[in-house]
Every structure is written in structure tokens, then in C-alpha cells.
Amino acid sequence: MHWPCEFSNTRGRCVNVSARHGKKGHQNDKGKVFAVGDYKSAFKSIDYKVKWMNIIEVLLADFQEELQDLENKNLQQLDHVELIRKLHMKNISQFYRHLNGARSYGSHGTCLCCLIRIPEYALRCGHVLCSKCVVAYGKARRATFEMDFCPLHPDKTR
């Protein structure tokens, strides 16, 4: 739905994404239609299914191994959920560092911490998290939660 159209000719390159293309034709970055035609893309998600599943399996195995190492080092000083939370925060902050930092990304449609739920709570840095992530990374204070840092870039917000 959000993959850009790949049509181009001597008059320009289409900037429409699949969800916005419709029957209006190919448009340039000024919104002017420069060619008639349907959305074009060589990308097919089904082609990447096996590769995607293999990557997930490798990352999950790495995560489990790292979790086991942390459990062995901590010798039950931290509970299992706290270890997972710390490992997840480390992994997501590393992920965003590879993409020029988390400050370059924002979404009001998907929580960028868990990539599962709809975000509801805005942080000082501008990121918006879902209630589950706020509970996971925040500190309970009566009827509210305080967050000392954003889990997407904890080293930048402390």
C-alpha cells in the first residue's frame, strides 16, 4: 500500500504510492498527471516470504541466546520480564541507530517501539508509544506513568 510506483518516462517519475494511485494516472512531485496508467511495481511481498522468515528465525535464535547469556550473568538478580525488556530496548535502539537515529522517524499509526499497537501517548522527544510500551518502560506513579527516557533512543534522552 505504501510502496512507491515505479513508472517513469522522459516526462518524469511517478510519486504515487499504491494506496493513493487509483485511476488518476502517474503524477510528479507537484501533483501534475504526466501519464495515464495503473500503478507499477516489480516488488511482490510473496517473493520475500521465505527470506523474511529465515531472517526472523536467525534473529529470534540470536535473541534467545543473548537472553540466556544475560540470565546466566545476572543469576536471577533481575526477573525474566526485566531482562527481556532491557534486551528489547538495546535491540531497538541499535536498530534505529543504523537508520540515522530514531529522531528521524515518527508515526501516529504504529507504535515504533513494538510495531504492533496503535500509539496513544506522546513523549517529550516527539515519539508516540502505545499503552503497553508505556507500561513496560515507564514507572507507575499513582494513576499515571512517568518515562525518564524514550526506549527508541534511551542514550539520547536520559
Residue 37 lies in a domain: yes
The verdict on pTM exceeding 0.75 is: no
**pLDDT tens-digit readout, 73-90:** 765 566 777 778 888 888
Clarify whether residues 90 and 144 are in a common domain. Answer: yes
Position 130 in a domain:
yes
Q: Are residues 86 and 151 in the same domain?
A: yes
Q: Is residue 152 part of a domain?
A: yes
φ/ψ of 49, rounded to 5, equals -55, -50
Q: Measured on CA atoms in the order 49, 50, 55, 56, is the torsion positive or negative?
A: positive
CA-closest candidate to residue 147, choices 155, 157, 137: 137
Do residue 36 and residue 88 come from a single domain?
A: no
Q: Quick one: pLDDT at residue 8?
A: 92
Q: Are residues 26 and 83 in the same domain?
A: no
Q: Does a structural domain hold residue 67?
A: no
How many domains does the chain contain in total? Answer: 2
Tell me if 4 sits within 8 A of 14, measured CB to CB: yes
Q: How far is CA 83 from the centre of its chain?
A: 21
pLDDT digit string (tens) for 82-123?
778 888 888 888 888 888 888 888 889 999 998 899 999 999
Between CA 3 and CA 40 the distance in angstroms is 10
Mean pLDDT for the stretch of residues 10-29: 89
Can you give the residue range of the structural domain that contains 120? 78-157
pLDDT at 75: 59
**Helical segments of the chain, H only:** 18-21, 49-74, 80-98, 131-137, 154-157
Q: Residues 90, 145: one domain? A: yes
> Is 66 among the domain residues?
no
Least confident of 115-119, 129-133, 134-138, 154-158: 154-158
Residues 87 and 31 in one domain: no
DSSP single-letter state for residue 45: G
Instruction: Give a yes or no: residue 139 inside a domain.
Output: yes
Same domain, 94 and 147: yes
**65 part of a folded domain:** no
